[in-house]
């Protein structure tokens, strides 16, 4: 029997680095909610096999005085030798898809903690297509999160 070397994407976890919630008069009309999610990628120079996905989610309804922003950084590592095409797929599709449920669960948890102002929000599932924008240290507000070792 012939076996192939398994290249894998290792997920090290998500750190929520920013969360801002302003409820105003509350949020009761969840039918008109528009979620926006943006994901970017960062490749640390010191760890060529690792990368980080910076994902931000925003929910804003000005007429109800509701605003929620969550930013999380997910750490990933690629084990084994991979082609550029495989690496591109792991970074742009798989990593974002793995990380999104953590951001989604965090939003549901934080909104469920204040039931008098807002009903728990559950973001709809997202599919990620296309290339993630690559960021450099100088482009991110708090470089310490980006430079933290992926091994931690």
- CATH pick for 8-127 out of 3.10.420.10, 3.40.190.170, 3.30.70.360, 3.30.1330.10: 3.10.420.10
What ranges make up the beta strands (E) of 43-123?
Answer: 50-61, 66-79
Q: What is the pLDDT of residue 3?
A: 47
Q: If we measure between CA atoms, which residue out of 89, 69, 74 comes closest to residue 7? A: 89
What pLDDT, in 10s, does the model give residues 95-110?
A: 988 999 999 999 888 8
Rounded to an integer, the average pLDDT of 108-115 is 81
| Cα–Cα distance measured from residue 62 to residue 67, given in angstroms and rounded to the nearest whole number | 8
Q: Which residue has the higher pLDDT, 146 or 48?
A: 48
Domain ranges for the chain, please list them. 8-127
Instruction: State both tokens at 145.
Output: 């999160």
What pLDDT, in 10s, does the model give residues 6-44?
A: 568 899 999 999 999 887 766 565 556 778 889 999 988
Q: Which residue has the higher pLDDT, 18 or 136?
A: 18
- Cα angle for residues 60, 22, 126 (degrees, 5° grid): 40
Q: How far apart are the first and last CA of the chain?
A: 38
């Amino acid at each position: 029997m012939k076996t192939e070397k398994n290249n894998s994407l290792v997920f090290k976890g998500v750190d929520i680095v920013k969360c801002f919630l302003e409820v105003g008069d509350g949020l009761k009309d969840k039918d008109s909610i528009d979620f926006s999610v943006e994901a970017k990628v960062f490749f640390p120079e010191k760890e060529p096999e690792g990368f980080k996905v910076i994902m931000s989610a925003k929910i804003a309804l000005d007429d109800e005085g509701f605003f929620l922003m969550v930013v999380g950084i997910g750490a990933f590592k690629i084990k084994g030798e991979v082609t550029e095409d495989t690496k591109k797929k792991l970074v742009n599709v798989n990593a974002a898809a793995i990380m999104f449920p953590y951001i989604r669960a965090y939003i549901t948890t934080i909104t469920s903690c204040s039931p008098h102002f807002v009903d728990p929000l559950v973001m709809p599932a997202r599919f990620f297509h296309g290339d993630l924008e690559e960021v450099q240290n100088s482009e991110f507000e708090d470089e310490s999160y980006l430079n933290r070792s992926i091994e931690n």
